[in-house]
Amino acid sequence: MRDAPPKPVRFGDLGLRLVSGLALAAIAATDIWLGGLWSAALLAAILVVMLWELDRMVMAGMPARPAVFPAMAACAALAVFVTYMRGPLPGVALILLGCAVAAAFGGRRRGWLVGGLLYMGLAVCAMVPLRHLEPNGLFFVIWLIVVVVATDVGAYFVGRLVGGPRLWPAVSPGKTRSGALGGLGFATLVGVPIGLWAGQDVFTAAFLSVGVSIASQCGDLLESAVKRRFGVKDASHIIPGHGGVMDRLDGVIGGVWFVAICGLLGLGSLG
C-alpha cells in the first residue's frame, strides 16, 4: 500500500515572504518619509522595473525590438520627475509620448505595451501629488499602503486557513472567495480606525477603506490575467518570495486608481 501523498504546507513560504516584505517596507517607508526628489526617484525606478517586467512577458517569442523598451522607460521615468517639478499635465504628456512610441514600433502586441504604460504609468505619476498633498500627504500614502497590505495579509491567511470555492479559477486558481472576503474585512478593520483618527466620519472612512481593498484585489486579478495570458507564474524573480515588482505592487496600483478617481470626483480623502 502506497503512502498517502504529503499535504501541501500552507505557510511554507511565509518566512521568506516576511523577510523580503519587511526589507521592502523599510526601504519604501524611509523614501516616502523623505519625500521630494527621493520619493520621485524611487517611484521612477519602480515604474521602469515594472515596464521591464511587462516587456519581458508580452514580447517573449516576438521579433526583437530593442529600442522600444528604453524609449518607453525614458518617457516614464521623466514623467515621474516632471510631475514632481511641473505638475501632472506635463507628466501625462510624457506618458502619452511613450505610448505613441509603443504604438508605432511595438509590433503585433503594441496594445499590451500601450495599455500597461497607461495603467501603471499614470498611477505611479499620481502618487507624486498624493504624497505631497498638504497637510496630510505623507499620512495619506501610508494609509493607502497599509490598507493594501492589510488586504493581502487577510486574503493570505484566511484563504489558506479556510479555503473553499475559487474566486475566479480561469484567471487565478489560487485565490479563494474566503480569502477575498478575509482581505476585505481585515482592510476595513485596519483602515477605518485610521480614517477616524484622521478626522473622517465613519461613512467616508469605511467607503475609502472598502473601495481601496476591492480595487487592490481587482488590480491583483488584472495582473494575474495578464500573466495567465502569457503563461508566466511571476512577472520576474527580483523579490524573493514575492516574484516581481508588479507582483508586489499590483494591489497598490489598483488602490491608487481608486483614490485618484475619488479625488477627481470629490468623493473624500484623508487630506
Question: Which burial class, exposed, middle or buried, applies to 228 when counting CB atoms under 10 A from its CB (0-12, 13-18, 19+)?
Answer: middle
**81-111 pLDDT, tens digit each:** 999 999 999 999 999 999 999 999 998 999 9
Please count the CA atoms within 13 angstroms of the CA of 79 that sit on its side-chain side.
30
260 Cβ contact partners less than 8 Å away, ≥ 6 residues apart? 123, 126, 130
For the chain, give every domain's residue range: 14-34+134-271, 36-131
- Which pTM was predicted? 0.88
Residues 6+ apart with CB under 8 A from 175: 155, 159, 166, 167, 168, 220, 221, 224
Strand locations in the chain, DSSP E? 166-168, 172-176
Amino acid at 190: V
The residues that bridge with 168 in the sheet, in sequence order, are: 172
Grid cell locating 141: 500614502
Mean pLDDT along residues 187-210: 91
Average the pLDDT over 170-188 and give the result. Answer: 92
Inter-CA distances, 27 with 24, 35, 217, Å:
5, 13, 24
pLDDT tens figures, 107-160: 899 999 999 999 999 999 999 998 888 777 888 888 999 999 999 999 989 998
pLDDT classification of 15: cutoffs 50, 70, 90: low
* Interaxial angle between packed helices 245-265 and 202-229, expressed in degrees from 0 to 180 and rounded to the nearest 10: 140
Q: Is the pLDDT of residue 189 over 70?
A: yes
Distances (CA, A) of 31 to 19, 120, 129: 19, 20, 15
Record the cell numbers describing residue 171, joined without a space.
484567471
